[in-house]
A and B are shown apart, each in its own frame.
Chain A
């Protein structure tokens, strides 16, 4: 840039110079032309003056007129000489100058002749001579030549003037251009200078600030700093260095280092090697041997550690050495305290009764304590190669993962969870873990692990006991409910029976009472023998009826109340025995057939006997007068039940009456003798044995009663 600007400047200077030269040349030409024109005019005017003087002489004959003549002739000669000189520089050709000289010489000769004539021959001769017009002709010729020359010169002058004008303009433009370029260059240079100045100011400030910062830093740094020059003389010491050495910087400056920095070996008490010398020798950073003691100016001893480093630019010469050291006595104490604290912490960790583990976010076990190792039956080395996923029961993993995610996300500060860890032998151990996150350098999880096996066992036992109790309770309730419902049922049935009995037992009582009364009242008035028989008969009937009712009622009560053992009963044997022993079932009174073999059922023999005596009794009883009862007994098997049917050829039962057939004291009519309890007893005993009863009948065509009993 600077070169380009310089080249531009040189260019413009050269250009301006050339243009100037050109203008000077043009002006010189103009001056020459102008001088030439002047000389030409002077030549003519000199000739004219000479002629005028000559003429005056000619006329007067006085010599005074010859004075100007002679001056003019002298001038003319001068002018002609000048003209010749000038003509060489101008466009005037030498031939024309010579011609003018020739003509002038001739004219002068003519003039001289005129003068000679006047002197010699008198005024007439002179006048005659003038009349010859020789002088006039010559003069005209001179004037013509002069005019031609002037015209030519004038042209040359005009040309020179134009050239000069052009040169002036060119020069002006060149000056202006050069001026502008120079101004621009000046402005650019100015800006450069200003900028550079600012930059230097900033750098200067920054250097000053850095220096100050450095000085402040060194002064306020906790470590002691001593700086020496390349000869090992102290140049700087900060406050801490002053304190430890006992030297002020003012005293120490210029002192050799060993004087200020006196160090000995703590144990041998021998002077230790001067670190600066070592640095100067080796040219690199050196540390101080351990157990070094610094002895201050006033004799104080301070254990120190230090390092010394050369001060040099990279690959440059060594300027000096910087020595950094610190009071090791405090440091040592602090270190001891920290060490002890760490030891205590480690002990608390190691000897804690609960398991403690540190876990990386990926589940790796970073640290475990003895309690945890014992709890899980692993050695520390084995455990540290596991992840928490390895030692957690898979059933508990998902729930805890969720909590861990929240923990590391910072959503929860900690969590507590009861879970199962897996021992080395694979057996689960119930633990309660309390986990939180520590964020030292990078986050990890600290977990306290408490063995809660005993508690869990107790809980499980308690739970089992509770469940057993609940079960027993339920069972008891069921039993109570069953018994209660059975009792309720019994009470209802007995109530029903007592209700029915009040009704049915009163009738015979009423009859006995009434007929006895009639007999008593009317015996006095003479009752016929027939009437007495009838009334007494009715009283007896009533008494028998009552007895039968009481018997049946007791049977029914027995069927309801008695707890009777169930056992397999062979129905064939049972029924055949009944046919042999019951008079009303005897073959001379009824045809009773058993089809095939009857099965063995689960039941109570006594109840079954009651059941079949009633059913078979009914079957042979309810027949039309004069008809021989025919009864068929058969069995059909349906799953676990046996249905035993008793088909008769009796009068049948109206459809309407069939639904209350098995009710208490339900008699179909008064044609057939009976208490109305029989079928109620049948139903009751069958139900007691877990079976069912039923009947199908068509009036006039007989009935079929059936009972379903459980097979043995």
Chain B
């Protein structure tokens, strides 16, 4: 089954969301951006979607997850996902400002496929999005 080209982004910073949109456009990656403003919204989205088929929502091919968010943080989302077998094939990539080893290690242990530190400049962000797209959103991705 071909993966959906939708990227679910969990990000509370409105600026960061805007930057992601700009970068995605620049990267010319054909992917729809679904924005959740915190972990709680991620859970609500996935929960109401139920299954990829027969759902009004597109089922994301990638979850780009910030760690520090109001209400429900990234780790809590990872924990929530870990308890649900149906989401085991949903790749989660952490997208955080934190460069702490402990955060990286913990995220890996909780099932995150990659850990991306938010870059300072737009150019890097574009490159990262391209990479993530080719890695997770194209059929030939690992």
Task: Spell out A's residues near B (CB within 8 Å).
Answer: 499, 502-504, 506-511, 513-515, 517-518, 538, 541-542, 654, 656-657, 665, 667-670
Contacts and interface: CB of A to CB of B under 8 A. Distances in A.
B123 to A, nearest CB: 7
Given A510-B118, A657-B71, A667-B70, 10 more contacts: A503-B97, A507-B15, A510-B16, A511-B13, A511-B19, A513-B122, A517-B123, A542-B15, A670-B12, A670-B70
B71 A518 contact: no
Given A511-B19, A670-B13, A670-B14, A518 B70 contact: no
Interface in B70-116: 70-71, 96-100
B68 interface: yes
Interface of B: 12-16, 18-19, 22-23, 37-38, 68, 70-71, 96-100, 118-123, 125
A103 to B, nearest CB: 192
B97 A506 contact: yes
A503 B68 CA distance: 9
Contacts of A670: 12-14, 37, 70
Contacts, number: 67
Contacts of A508: 15
Contact of B15 (A511, A517, A657): A511
Top 6 A-B pairs, shortest CB-CB distance: A511-B15, A506-B97, A503-B97, A517-B122, A514-B122, A514-B19
Given A507-B13, A507-B15, A514 B71 contact: no
Given A665-B68, A670-B37, A507 B99 contact: no
20 contacts: A502-B99, A503-B68, A503-B96, A503-B98, A506-B97, A507-B97, A507-B118, A509-B120, A510-B15, A510-B19, A510-B97, A511-B13, A511-B15, A514-B22, A518-B22, A654-B71, A657-B71, A668-B70, A669-B38, A670-B13
B15 A538 contact: yes
A502 B103 CA distance: 13
A97 B27 CA distance: 217
A548 to B, nearest CB: 15
B56 to A, nearest CB: 26
Contacts of B99: 502
Contacts of A504: 97
A507 B16 contact: yes
A706 to B, nearest CB: 23
Contacts of A657: 70-71
B32 to A, nearest CB: 21
Contacts of B68: 503, 665
Contact of B121 (A514, A541, A542, A669): A514
B37 A502 contact: no
A514 B38 CA distance: 22
Contacts of B98: 499, 502-503
A510 B19 CA distance: 9
Contact of B122 (A509, A518, A542, A665): A518
B52 to A, nearest CB: 30
Nearest to A504: B97
Contacts of B15: 507-508, 510-511, 538, 541-542
A513 B71 contact: no
Instruction: Name the residue in B14, B121, B122 with the highest tally of chain A Cβ atoms < 10 Å from its Cβ.
Output: B122
Given A503-B98, A510-B118, A514-B121, A669 B19 contact: no
A513 B12 contact: no
A510 B120 contact: yes
Contacts of A542: 15
Contacts of B70: 657, 667-670
Contacts of A541: 15
Contacts of B71: 654, 656-657, 668-669
Contacts of B122: 513-514, 517-518
A497 to B, nearest CB: 13
A503 B13 CA distance: 12
B51 to A, nearest CB: 28
Contacts of A667: 70
A518 B15 CA distance: 13
Nearest to B13: A507
B89 to A, nearest CB: 29
A288 B19 CA distance: 147
Contacts of B22: 514, 518
Contacts of A538: 15, 18
Nearest to A670: B12
A502 B97 contact: yes
B118 A506 contact: yes
Contacts of A509: 120
